Amino acid sequence: MSQTSDKFIAKSTIKAADLDHRRTINFNIGKYNAKVPEGKQQFTQMLTARERAKNVKWRALETLDQQLEEFELQLTRRGGKVLWAENAQQACDEILKICEARNCKTLVKSKSMVTEEIHLNDFLGKHNIESVETDLGEYIQQLDDEPPYHIVTPAMHKSKEDVAKLFAEKLGTDPKATPEQLTLTARKILREKYIQAEVGVTGANFILADVGGVAVTENEGNARLSCAFPKTHIVIVGIEKVLPSINDLGLFWPLLATYGTGQNVTVYNSIILGPKQQGEKDGPEEMIVILLDNGRTNVLKNPKTRESLYCIRCGACLNACPVYKNIGGHSYGTTYSGPIGKVITPHLKDLGEYKHLSYASSLCGNCTEVCPIRINLHELLLENRYEAVEEGYVSFGERMAWKVWKKVSISRKLMNTGSSKVRSWMINKFVKDWTRNRGEMHFPEKSFNQLWRERNGQ
């Protein structure tokens, strides 16, 4: 068992027993569950919309090389620049070069899971560049020196009292301040940072191949300020986020809003087509887009797991997952948590080190049921398990245990061998790993086969 797996089991065991955490999460997810049905009412044929979205993503990923080249061509025509980063280190190095060339001391950043994936804040901090999160949830997490808890709602695990206490400790505000007062405090501080910043960084919900545009959706306006105030705008985005056409946004923006927060459409939806053009008064003087691989081509080349790249990061599968709701986002120890994180992380990083995530599932299929792009998440979890076994990432004891189980399960004679007490002892005492995280198993006195024979006089 790897150290990563040991940490996961330790953290999840503690968090699963934390009743305060469970109450907070159930309250926040309850609010989400109440809103999503309202958002779905805008679709007359929900299933058709989801199937269309899946087909669009299928086409985008099957022609990914062409789509990305078209995006680069269209963006550079309007003065933008595209860089290609094979891994996290290359992406960070490119951003550092840009910052150093512009003598950047302060950088403002909107919410972006990709920048969390490459640990950009820590990297820039080591080079004496202040990287400030401007999304309120991300800002709260940065103050508390914690990674995001959730793909969409970074501070979902915190109550308003937790946030008030944190602001009082870090910013000297009233410990009994209301959410409105806390928001105003954050707004005042962050607006000063926008003015000071030489560079702004955003992610992208989608990149649009036919027009060379970057589509960003948000509810606070911080992404618009991050890309418009500073003279230099850097976009860092995973290569899988491409859509073939700007017209696809008419489907994907409402889907993302509905399944992400239960809205018909989010408050701010922006399409950024490059740096400030001649005659325009607003916008950055330069725009640089970094297209990040960082393991995504590993997923792409696998015809069975490729489907996981269709994800639009709405977070619906996290909210639906019974495991996530019990152990929380931080227990996973990865950037992407919940069902989608369990599917992609072993391929983005290392299958042997992170295979345990694919086993942390009830396989109830609720994640697949709620996915707006209809990704077969529970089947992909099984595929990960299969690949882990095929590549030898299981212990000798586990392999032997399954061989014995198979031999016994296909033989009625062996199944009926021994008393119920003997069979119970074999599982509960001899096979110790079975009861490490489970209750004891107790076999009945007689098997179904034995009862059938007795009742039918055979």
Q: What is the 3-state secondary structure (H, E, C) of 259-305?
A: HHHCCCCCCEEEEECCCCCCCCCCCCCEEEEEEECCCHHHHHCCCCC
Pairing between β-strand 213-218 and β-strand 106-109 as defined by DSSP bridges: unpaired
The arithmetic mean of pLDDT across residues 397-415, rounded, is 82
Angle between helices 249-261 and 46-62 (to 10 degrees): 120
Largest CA distance in the chain: 94
442: phi then psi, degrees, rounded to nearest 5: -125, 120
* Distant-in-sequence, close-in-space partners of 363: CB < 8 Å, separation ≥ 6: 378, 381, 382
- Name the residue among 258, 221, 208, 272 with its Cα closest to residue 110: 221
C-beta separation of 373 from 310 below 8 A: yes
The arithmetic mean of pLDDT across residues 370-398, rounded, is 91
- The SS3 call for residue 102 is coil
- Name the residue among 153, 88, 169 with its Cα closest to residue 121: 88
pLDDT of residue 263 exceeding 70: yes
184 — pLDDT class (breaks 50, 70, 90) = very high
Structure tokens at 403: 């061989």
pTM tops 0.85, yes or no: yes
Handedness of CA 258, 321, 158, 24 (dihedral sign): positive
- Name the residue among 17, 218, 203 with its Cα closest to residue 116: 203
User: What percent of the chain has a predicted confidence (pLDDT) above 90?
Assistant: 81
Per-domain residue ranges of the chain: 1-33+307-394, 42-294, 396-455
Q: How far apart are CA 260 and CA 308, in angstroms?
A: 17
pLDDT digit string, tens, across residues 319-343: 999 999 999 999 999 999 999 999 9
Do domains 1-33+307-394 and 42-294 share one topology? The answer is: no
409 — pLDDT class (breaks 50, 70, 90) = confident
pLDDT of residue 401 exceeding 80: no
331: phi then psi, degrees, rounded to nearest 5: -65, -30
pLDDT digit string, tens, across residues 84-135: 999 999 999 999 999 999 999 999 999 999 999 999 999 999 999 999 999 9
- The SS3 call for residue 306 is helix
pLDDT of residue 437 exceeding 70: no
- The SS3 call for residue 457 is coil
**What does DSSP assign to residue 214?**
E
**What does DSSP assign to residue 414?**
H
Distances (CA, A) of 247 to 53, 74, 238, 303: 12, 16, 21, 27
pLDDT of residue 1 exceeding 70: no
The whole-number pLDDT of residue 432 equals 67
CATH of 1-33+307-394, one of 1.10.1060, 1.10.860, 3.30.1050, 1.20.58: 1.10.1060
Q: Under the phi-then-psi rule, with left for phi > 0, alpha for psi from -120 to 50, and beta for the rest, what region is 290?
A: beta
Higher pLDDT among residues 429 and 41, named by residue = 41
pLDDT of residue 218 exceeding 70: yes
245 — pLDDT class (breaks 50, 70, 90) = very high
- Can you give the length of the chain in residues? 458
* Residue environment code for 42-80, b if the CB has 16+ CB neighbours within 10 A, otherwise e: ebeeeeebbeebbebbeebbeebeebbebbbebbeeeeb
Angle between helices 377-390 and 338-348 (to 10 degrees): 30
Number of H helices, E strands in the chain: 24, 10
CA end-to-end span of the chain: 48
Domain 42-294's class? alpha beta
